[in-house]
Amino acid sequence: MTDRRERFAAGSELYLSRRGGGDRLQVRIVSSRDVAKGLLVGFAGYDTRELAGKLAGAELFIPGEQLAEADPGAYYGFQLVGCRVFEAGDERGRVISLENPGTGANDYLVVVPAGGGSELCVPFIRDAILSIDLEGRRIDIREGFLG
């Protein structure tokens, strides 16, 4: 997720990682263009359909030193990953990702329950989020929004 299209200019270097972690691979962009479903990006060394297909589903990242400081009250998704989630003072789980459904709907936190079980979602909206303490790695949510 970015609002800076220049990050995809030819010659830009980014990091690529498969969902779920693993090693990050540094890649250099050789081309990019708009297509109906978003942006088509070409990487050096991945010039065949077969090679490019191996990158399907991966996410792109920039080096941390290139990040602009977030505006007050705004957060980068990676800052929230690992935060403990509390509802009415009880720890309910940990954030594993901040997702954007791509439909114009609100972003949401994906939470792994403390006691195990299926992942839960919390809408990332002011009504649901009471407080975020990045130093303490804690997010407090309003009752009724975890589901």
pLDDT in tens, 26-71: 899 999 998 887 888 899 999 898 998 888 878 888 877 778 888 8
Structure tokens at 67: 């990040």
Residue intervals of the chain classified under CATH 2.30.30.240 are: 77-141
Class of domain 77-141: mainly beta
Query: In 3-state terms, what secondary structure has residue 52?
Result: helix
Structure tokens at 6: 């220049």
Look up the pTM and report it. Answer: 0.66
Architecture of the structural domain at 5-66: Beta Barrel (2.40)
CA distance 132 to 130: 7
Residue 115: pLDDT band (50, 70, 90) is confident
Structure tokens at 136: 């303490």
Residue intervals of the chain classified under CATH 2.40.30.60 are: 5-66
